[in-house]
Chain A
Amino acid sequence: MNGGSSTIPVAGPPRDATLPAPVERVLDNGLRVVAFSLRNLPLVAAQLVVGCGGAAEREDEAGLAALVAALLTQGTTTHGAMEIAAATDALGARLVAASGYDASIVSASATTPAFPQVFALLEDVVRRPAFAPHEVDRVRTKSISDLALTYASPTALARNVAHRVAYGGAPYGHPLAGTAQTLAALTRERVAWFHERFYRPDDAALVIGGDLEIDEAFALAQRVLGSWRAPAASIGERPHGEIPPPRSRVVIVDKPDAGRTALLAGRVTIERRSPDYYPATVATAVLSGYSGRLNQEIRVKRGLSYGAGVSLAARRQRGTFFSTTLVDHTRAAEATAVTLATIRSLAESPASDDDLVTRKATVTGAFFRAIETIDGIAGALAEHVLYDVPLAEVGDYTHRVLDVDAQAVRAFAADGLVPDNFVVLVGDASKFADEVKRAHDDVRVIPHDRLDLGSPTLGG
C-alpha cells in the first residue's frame, strides 16, 4: 500500500513576498506619520507609538506607565469608560492601550467603514483621558488582584525575577506591572503628570495603513491629530541606567506548591539599533523553534519538558536573551545543565553556513507570517519607528537575515550570548537546590513569600 512514488517531489521556484512600501511625513506639531496602503481586505489599522514607557518611571512608582495606559480607555472628558467600551464594540473595532519598557502604544483597528470613527476615539483617549478618581481606584485594585495570578505562575514569575537579576536597579529591572506596594502608592496626580509629560506629538509616531490610499491616511492623521500640541515642559533625558555587567549566578525562588519548575537562563544582550541585531536574531534562531538546538536537547532527545523556547528582546538600551522551559522539579538541575551547555554550543560547536540555511528560513518565514495581517504590518513598522531603525530595513529584512553567515553568528554568540549566563529557577527547591548548588558557586535561594520584586536585590 502506498501513495504513489517513493520520492518526494521537488519544490518549484519561490514567489517573492512583498511588503507595501511605507511613506513618511512629519506633521507641523512634530508627529511623525508612517502610512502604507494594502487594499486587498477591508481592514485599516493604526498604532500610535509614544516614546516613553515603564523605563521612564521611578523605582518606587513601578507600574505607573502601565496604569496610565490602562486608564486611557477608562474615560475621557467627553466619554465615560463604558461609553468607550460600547462604542468600540459597536464599531466591531479594537482599541487597546498598553505600555512596555520603552514605549506606550495605543492601537486601533477596524473594518474600513468603521475605521474613521475608532480613529477619532483613539484621538480622544490619547489627548483627553479623565483619570477619574474612581477609575484610578478601580484599575489599581484590579491590577493588584491580577498580580496574584502572575505570582502563582512559575513561568510569569521567573520572567519578572530574571529582569531583576539582569538589571538590578537599572530601568528595565523593575516589574512593568508594578508590585502591590508601588501600585497602592500611585495617585491620580502622578498618573496625570506622567500623561502630561510623556504623551506628546513631538515624541510620538503614528503608523497607519491598510485599506485606504496613502494620501487619505495622511489627511486623516492631519485632520484628527494635527491640532495636538506638545506641552512647554521639555521631555527631559531618556532614562539611561548603568546596566550591571553579566554575571554567572543562579537565583532560586522556592515555591513548594508549584506544579513544575520554571527554568530561565539568560543574559543582557544588545540594543535594537546594534549592527549585531541580525547576527543576534539568527543566533537565537539556531537555538529556538521546534528543531532548534534547545528543544532538540530538552524535549526531543531527553523528554525533559513539553517544549523549550528562546527569545531575543532587543530594546532602546541593551535588551534580553531568554531561554525558558518548564520541567519536573526533580529534573530541574539536569535541565539547567543541558540548557547552559546548549547555549555554550553556539561557540563550541558553531552552526555551519549549511546549518544556517534552515534556521534563517525560520526567521524569514515568521516575518512573512507576521506581515500577513494589517495589524502585523503596522506592528513591524511601529517597531522600526520606535527604535529609530531606518524604515527601508523593513522591506530589506529578508536580505539582511540571509546575509548573516556562520562566522558572524559564532562571533556574536561567543561574545554576546554565551558567557556569564544567569539562571532563574522557580519551583519546589527541596527537590533540586542541593544538586544545583553542587554544580554552581553562586546560588541564592529565596522563599516565595519573602520575594520582593520591588527591591533591586529581590528582598528575601
Chain B
Amino acid sequence: MKRKPVTALPTISASAIGVAPIRYADHTLPNGLRAILVADRRVPSVAINVAYRVGGKDDPPGRSGFAHLFEHLMFKGTSRTAPETMDRLTEDVGGYNNAFTSEDITNYYEVVPSNHLERLLWAEADRLASLTVNEANFATERDVVIGEYDQRVLAEPYGMLDELVNREAYAVHPYRRGVIGSPAELNAASLDDVVAFHATYYRPDNAVLVVAGDLDPDETMAMIERWFGPIPTPSGAIPRVHAIEPPQTAERTYEYRAANVPLAAAEEAYHIPEAAHPDAAALDVLETLLGSGRSSRFYTSLVYDKQVATNAYAAADLREQPGLFGVRVTCARGVALADARAALEQELERVRTEPPDELEMERVRTQIASSVVRSRQTHSGVALELVRAITERGDPELVNGDLTRYLAVTGDDVMRVARTYLRPENRTAVEYLPALPQAQDEQ
C-alpha cells in the first residue's frame, strides 16, 4: 500500500502573522461627544456606530430591562422623522441597521454605501437631540420586547441559563439583573420613565461615535461637527453604578429544572476583574486554551476522549466592571451531569496546577492573532473593536496593543490566573436539568 511518509505537523509562529495597526482620527467636540474615524477605502461602504454608556446595569430601580426597551424606542421616530426612518435610510439603499444593549452600553450601528454617510450622521444626531415617543408606539414596542423575552429566554432550550448565571453569581452588583429584564418590570415602565432616561443618559458627553470605512477623515469630522456640534450638553452629572460586589467566600449551586431540556447542562461562573485589569489578556488566553477549537482542552478531553459532553466551552466575559469567567458543558446523551462536571473539574485542576507548555501556548497565540486578522476584514468589525476598547477600557489605542499583550502572556501567567480566579469558593454553578415527570404533571 502506498503511503505518504508521516510528516511533522505544520505550525506557524504567531509573530509571523502581520497585523497592521488601526490608524484613526480621535476628536472630542466641545459638547463632549467623542468621535473616532478610520479611513479604509477597500470597499465602498461605511460602518457607523454610536455607543451610549448606559446598559443593563444602569436600569432604574424596579425597571430591569429598561435600557434595552429604550433601545427599541430609539427607532420610533423624532419630531422630524417618522418611525422606522433608520430602515428607510439603510435597508432601502442596501445597508442595514440594528442595535444591541449589553450590561454596559447601548450601541446603535449602521452599514451603508459610503455616499450615504452624511444622511446617517444626520439621523443619529437627530435621534440623540429630539427623540419623540408616544403612548401608542411605547406600548407596541414594549410588547415586542416581551415577545423577544418569550422567544429568546422562554422558548429556546437553555434560554434561561444566561439570566440565571447573572442572577446567582452576583449578590449585590446590578449585573445580577441581566439585560433583558423581566416582563413584570417592563410592564411597570411608563412614558415618564422614557423621557427621564433619554434626558439622563442620551447626551453628547455620554456617547462615542465611531465611523470606519470609505471616508475622508477631514470631511467626515466636518459633517460630525455640523450635525452633532449644536446639540447642547445638560449640566447635571451622569449617574454611575458604584456598587462593589463583595468577594465570594463559598461556592453556590443553583438547580433549575425546565421543560424541553433535551440534555442536561451546567455553567460554572467565576468572578473576574474588569476588562481594563492587567489580568484580562491572560484570561482571554485562558478562554482560548480551554475552549476554542478542536485542539482546545475541553474539546479534546470532554468531547473527544471521554465523550461525556456534546459541547463544552469557556468565555471570559470581561466587562467595564468586574465580570465573569464562564465554563459551560452540555452532556452527551445518557451521561450524568455529575460525571460531565467532574471531567470539567479535572481540566480546571490541571490548568490551576501546571503551566501549559510553550508549544500549546504558541498555538493559542496563533489562534488569537488569526482571529484578530479575520475580524478586521469588515468595517463593522473594526468599528466595534474600537467601541469596546473605549467604553470598556477607556482608550481606543488599546486596540493596537492587544496583540502584543496576548503574545506576552506566558504559560505561568495562564496558570496564575486560573489559580487566582477559578477557585471553587469563587464559583457559582447553575445546573440546568429536565423537568421531573411528576413536576410536569402538576403544570
Contact = CB atoms under 8 A, between A and B. Distances in A.
B140 A303 contact: yes
A72 B230 CA distance: 61
A374 B95 contact: no
B17 A111 contact: yes
A412 to B, nearest CB: 22
Contacts of B156: 153, 259
B157 interface: yes
Contacts of A3: 122, 125-126, 128-130, 227-228, 230-231
Given A3-B128, A92-B370, A82 B300 contact: yes
Contact of A88 (B118, B126, B294): B294
A145 interface: yes
B363 A89 contact: yes
Interface string B335-366: 00000000000000000000000000011001
A87 B295 CA distance: 8
B84 interface: yes
A259 B362 contact: no
A372 B362 CA distance: 29
Interface in B270-309: 292-296, 299-300, 303-304, 307
Interface stretch (A8-16, A56-64, A201-209, A272-280): A8-16
Contacts, number: 259
Contact of B144 (A259, A306, A361): A306
Contact of B16 (A12, A113, A128, A148): A113
B93 interface: yes
Nearest to A6: B80
A91 B94 contact: no
A42 B373 contact: yes
A1 B374 contact: no
B433 to A, nearest CB: 14
A90 interface: yes
Contacts of B385: none
Contacts of A368: 43, 45, 94
B119 A303 contact: no
| Size category of the binding interface on chain A | 35 or more
A9 B43 contact: no
B9 A87 contact: yes
Contacts of A291: 84, 87-88, 91-92
A243 interface: no
Contacts of A85: 293-295, 299-300
Interface string B423-443: 000000000000100001000
B155 A154 contact: yes
B409 to A, nearest CB: 16
B310 A8 contact: no
A13 B155 contact: no
B307 A142 contact: yes
Which has the most chain B C-beta neighbours within 10 Å: A149, A289, A299, A357?
A149
Contact of A82 (B6, B114, B304, B378): B304
B378 A78 contact: no
A110 interface: yes
A154 B154 CA distance: 13
Interface string A281-315: 00000000111000000011001011000000000
B235 interface: no
Nearest to A84: B294
| Size category of the binding interface on chain B | 35 or more
A92 B232 CA distance: 48
A151 B262 contact: yes
A88 B11 contact: no
A222 B300 CA distance: 34
Given A3-B129, A89-B367, A260 B94 contact: no
A27 interface: no
A120 B10 contact: yes
Contact of B154 (A86, A151, A259): A259
A111 B18 CA distance: 9
Interface in A312-358: 326, 328, 357-358
Contacts of A234: none
A90 B362 contact: yes
A42 B18 contact: yes
Interface string B13-26: 01011100000000
B111 interface: yes
Contact of B3 (A77, A90, A154, A290): A77
Contact of B42 (A40, A290, A300): A40
Given A86-B9, A326-B151, A1 B129 contact: yes
B91 A117 contact: no
Which has the most chain A C-beta neighbours within 10 Å: B44, B111, B261, B370?
B370
Interface of B: 3-7, 9-12, 14, 16-18, 42-45, 80, 84, 87-89, 91-96, 111, 113-116, 118-119, 122-123, 125-126, 128-130, 140, 143-144, 147-148, 150-152, 154-157, 159, 214, 226-232, 259-263, 292-296, 299-300, 303-304, 307, 310, 332-333, 362-363, 366-371, 373-374, 376-379, 435, 440
20 contacts: A1-B130, A4-B125, A15-B214, A43-B374, A85-B300, A89-B296, A89-B366, A90-B9, A91-B11, A113-B12, A145-B332, A149-B157, A259-B159, A260-B151, A290-B87, A299-B144, A303-B144, A365-B91, A369-B45, A372-B377
A-B CB proximity, top 7 nearest: A365-B94, A92-B370, A259-B155, A85-B294, A3-B125, A117-B10, A358-B92
